[in-house]
Structure 1
Amino acid sequence: MSHDLAAPSPGHVLVFDVVKTNVGSGYNHHDGVFTAPSQGPYVFSWTVVSWYRSYVYSELMVNSSTFGRILTNSQDIDDEHIGSGVVVAVLNPGDVVYIRVVSSVGTLASRSNIYTSFSGWKLN
Structure 2
Amino acid sequence: MRDLIITAVENRFGQVNRLPETIEWLSDNGSGYIAHETRAMARDIGLEPRTTPVRSPQSNGMAEAFVKTIKRDYIRVSPLPDARTVMERLPLWIEHYNSLHPHKALGYRSPCEFIADQTQP
| TM-score calculated relative to the size of structure 2 | 0.27
Larger proportion of strand: 1
Structure having the higher Rg: 2
**Normalized per residue, which structure has more helix?**
2
Higher relative contact order at CA 8 Å, sep ≥6: structure 1 or structure 2?
A: 1
